[in-house]
Amino acid sequence: MPPELTEATYVADYKIKLKFADGMEGVVDLRSQLWGDVFAPLEDMELFRAFTLNKELHTLCWPTGADLAPEFLYAEATATVGAV
């Protein structure tokens, strides 16, 4: 079963604090992910901050149609737990 993202809060720059249903949380820095046709437009900070939490897909989505797999977000968020 994929991880369930339950909360997402903008922190600063390209960083978002994520909380998951299993209690895990962490901050992800998505700057390095903003390349290619789908994600490059999110380099615009106003557009980047316009993310929403899609509660059906349990992931972040942007008005441009971009989204990230919840498994990827979970791996990134939990990898930074000790570094936050």
pLDDT tens per residue, range 44-55: 999 999 999 999
pLDDT tens per residue, range 1-50: 789 999 999 999 999 999 999 999 999 999 999 999 999 999 999 999 99
What pLDDT shows up at residue 70? 95
Domains annotated for the chain, with CATH where assigned, are 5-83 (3.30.2020.10)
> What is the rounded distance in angstroms from the CA atom of residue 57 to the CA atom of residue 11?
22
> What is the rounded distance in angstroms from the CA atom of residue 75 to the CA atom of residue 64?
24
Sheet holding 5-12, edge to edge: 5-12, 15-20, 25-29
What letters, b where the CB count within 10 A reaches 16 and e where it falls short, cover 45-72?
eeebeebebeeeebbbebebebbbebee
